[in-house]
Structure formats: structure tokens, C-alpha cells
Amino acid sequence: MRVGRAGRIAQVAVPLGFLALFFGWPLGAIFAHSLRAGAIADVVTDPFLRRVAWFTLWQAVLSTILTLAVGLPAAYAVARYEFPGRRAFRAFVTVPFVLPTVVVSTAFLALLGSDGPLAFLHWRPGVAPMLIAHVFFNVAVVVRTVGGFWANLDRRREEAARMLGASRRRAFVHVTLPLLAPSIIAAASIVFLFTFTSFGVALLLAGPAHATLEVEIYRQAVDVPDLQTAAALALAQIVAVLAVMFALARAQERRAVAQRLVGAADAARRPRGREKIVVGGILAGTTLFLGTPLAVLAWRSLHVGGRWSIGSYRALGTSASTSTLFVSPWAAVRNSVEFAAIATLIALVVGGLAAVAIAARPGRATRTMDAFLMLPLGTSAVTVGFGFLLATENAPRSIANSPLLVPIAHAVVAIPFVVRAVVPVLRSIDPRLRDAATMLGAGPRRVWREVDLPIVARAFAVAAGFCAAVSLGEFGATLFIARPDWPTVPIAIQRFLGKPGQIYFDQALAMSVILMVLTGVVVFAIERVRVRELGEL
């Protein structure tokens, strides 16, 4: 898109200014607080905080290993075999990944609690439920990342090894696995990032005796409160995440192998003989593991007091519920929808301007800008929310208590999704189309409206869906900055779970189902847009 000098400046200045103000400033506040009164030294020498850091590390490593163990068989089945419902299975596996953490945590509470189908396991808050929930969340990462790469591997290398006498197992270990290593490391790095920065799952399922760094940051900032220690913990977590991500990226680069890829349709075939039993078992086991918690969540919300009833939904309108949330639960639903709409609009404007600048002018400057815009992906939402809390502690009350801080924080987290969705599409536009329109007398604005916009519109629609889904389910940052009388649905669920009594737990189930439906509608809309787009290519 050809624009004037002022337009080019705006494409760069608006995104960088927004991120500098609402991401750089909060991170700067965390850094400044962490340097006060020897807070970093206190964190390093405190035995309890060292145990928290060690627990955060090893549970993330174990969660990653378990996720790979569960996800790789499913990735194998999807990548190598053609079967009825293959596309539906891949979409189904993705559903847990986009669900809000509070919904998944509530689903496991309903499944494992005293009145749940697995009550005989005598579940108690601890490490095991948290690990299972982490696997539940992140199986999609392995299936999508490894399965997508695996589907395009040329089978002839493995077949050649088999013809030379290698067993199926040896051919996989010595031929296929080294080729898959970069994609496995990529998936492992993403899973590790999500589990190392786990907050909602750890807060609701692990219990106070097993706090991660995220939970301890929240406890130090809100319950103690000790802002300096919380800031030092947040800084230590950022450094640790960056170090681990750098190490994994180097490992992925070293294991990269030049190879010939084929179309996914050429690699997949129908299972034969015993393969049908293996593939069927993998699909059934994965479906049962991922579908049971969500099915139990919906069932428990409609099965109150031993009979079918919508009483838990009706109870959302009682005065007791309103007094718990300071507003009506349905006001919390309205808040979530409104915040999601505002956050999506901000993210589309800021991310869209950045995407146009990055796509139009490739070079070192725009690559640096692109990397800066991706930084929120490597920073947890809890850190962003805590940074907002520190940055606004001395601000006027009208700013510190403004409900607009909530969608702004959500937009900070969502902007990278817009950039990643739009930039590749803009770069794919043939410049000759723009040149032809210009030669026919169209001005820059009309060229954008008639050529670029129709092509990139669906990419913006997909990005908008992701932004809305992120905002609807965002919990960590919102917990720090949302005013008590402006709760979102995730905050409402957390407050209900924190109240004793079955009636409040039933209402948490009902609110979780409502949030699950809202998120599901958004995800379904995204898939419809993608399917239509693929159908037209």
C-alpha cells in the first residue's frame, strides 16, 4: 500500500508507541521495583522462593515430557493415516488449547471432585491434577506442530531402511526421529513456555502447597503484599524463560536437516491390518482424554442435587451471587464481551498498522520491529498485569481504576496474533495487481480498498477471532487490574470457586459452560472463515 510520509510514520509510530507505553512501561516498572532494597538478592537467598523456582522448573519439564508422550501418537495417526473424520479430529484436538484456563480447571474439579465420576480416586489439590491439565491443554501443540511436519516427510527414506533389514522400530529411531527432531523441539519449547508460566491451572488445581512462580508473584503482590519481592520474581522468571527459549532455539537449529518434503496427501494412506487397531486405539484414547472433562463439566452444570435441572444457571440471578461478585453474574458476561470487543479493535488497529509496515518494507528495521512486537508472546499475562499494577500505583485514581486498562492489557497480549496472521497474506499479494490498478488511475487509498483489502480481509477476520478468544479467557493479567465491580467471566468463576458451599461451585460450573460456549462460538467462526478461504484457493 502506497501512502504518504505521514502515513508511513503512523504505521511505525503507532504500534511502537503503543507497545512502549503499555508493555515497555510496565516491564520497566517491574525492573525498577526489583532493584529496590536488594530484592533480587533476597529472592536468590530465600530457601522458600528457591523451592518455588525449582518446583516451577521441574513441573514444566515433566509436563512437557508427558505432553509429548500423549501427543506424539496422535500426531503420528493424523500425519500418516487417512481415516474418516480426520479433519474433524484435528479440529477437536485444538479445542482444549483455546479454552480459558479457568474453564479447564473447573472441568477437572468437576471430574475429580467429591461428586464427580472419578471421586473414587480421592483427589486432592496437588501436582498430579495440574500435570494432567497441562497435558490436556497442550496436546494440540504437539499434534499441530509435529503432526503438520510429519505429514510432509517423504516416507521413502524409512521404507529404504526397512528394505535394508531394519525393523520398524529401528527405522523410526534412526531415520524418522532425527528428521522430526526440529519440530519436536519446537513443540516442546512452546509447551515448556506455557507450563513454566502456568497460573490459572496452578492456582486452582495445585493448591497453596505447590505454587509456581506465577502464583507466588500474585501472592507476593496481592496477599502479602511485597511488591519488591514480586517484581524480583517476575524479573527472574523473564530471564529464565528467555534463557530456556534461546537454548531450545539453538538446539532446534543444530538438529535441522535439509530434506525433501512432500504433500500431506501423498504421505497419508489408509491403515491396514493391525494398523487399524493401533490407529483406532490412539484416536479413541485421545478423544476420551480430551472429551471427558468437558462433557463432565456440561453434565455437572445441568445435574444439580441428583436430578436434571438448570438451577445452577437460575442461581446466577440471585442476590447472593450478586453480592459475591459486587455485580450481577450476567454483568460479568457483558463485561467480558465488551472488553473483548474493545481489545480486538485495539489489536486490529495497532497490529494491522504494524503488519502493513513490516510487509511493505522488508529490511533490518522492520525485522527489529517485528521482533519487538513479538515480545508479549514470551511474557506471561501475569507479568503484564503485575506491570500494569506497578506502573499505575502512583497514577491518578481515574487512570489506575479505569476499566479500560483491562482491554488494553488484553490487546497487548493479542497484537502478536494479528501481526502473525496478516503479514504473510500481505506479502503474498502480487505487486503487479497494485501496479495495474495504479496504471488504470486508482489512487493509493483505492488500490488498498480494491486490491489489498479483499485479499487480506479474511486474515483480519481470523486475527479478530483469535483476539476475541484471548480476551474472553484471559485471567492472569485481569486478576491484577480489574476493579472489584468490573469482573469478567474468568474472575467470576474464580470468585465462585473461592466461596464455600455447593451452590457456589454449581454456579462456577454454569459460568464455565457459558464461557466455554462463548469461546467455542469464536473458534467455530474462525474455522468457518479458514475453510471458506481454503476452498477458494
> Exposure string (b/e) for 259-286, b if CB count within 10 Å is 16 or more?
eeeeebeebbeebeeeeeeebeebbeeb
CA neighbor of 33 nearest in space, from 392, 404, 534: 392
Please report, in tens digits, the pLDDT of each residue of the chain (537 residues total).
455 566 677 778 888 899 999 998 988 888 888 877 677 787 888 888 889 989 999 999 999 999 999 999 998 888 888 888 887 788 788 888 878 888 888 888 888 877 778 877 777 778 888 999 999 989 988 888 888 777 777 666 666 766 766 666 777 777 777 778 878 888 888 899 889 988 888 888 887 788 888 899 888 888 877 888 888 888 888 888 778 777 766 665 565 554 544 444 455 677 777 878 888 899 999 999 999 998 999 998 988 877 888 888 888 888 777 777 778 888 889 999 999 999 999 999 999 888 888 887 777 777 778 778 877 877 888 888 888 988 888 778 778 788 899 999 999 988 988 888 888 777 777 667 666 777 767 666 776 666 677 777 878 888 888 888 889 888 888 888 888 888 899 998 888 888 888 888 888 899 999 988 888 788 777 766 654 554 443
Architecture label for domain 44-213+252-309: Orthogonal Bundle (1.10)
The answer to whether residues 474 and 413 touch, using CB atoms and an 8 Å cutoff, is yes
Domain ranges of the chain: 44-213+252-309
d(CA 428, CA 416): 19
The answer to whether residues 178 and 255 touch, using CB atoms and an 8 Å cutoff, is yes
d(CA 169, CA 157): 14
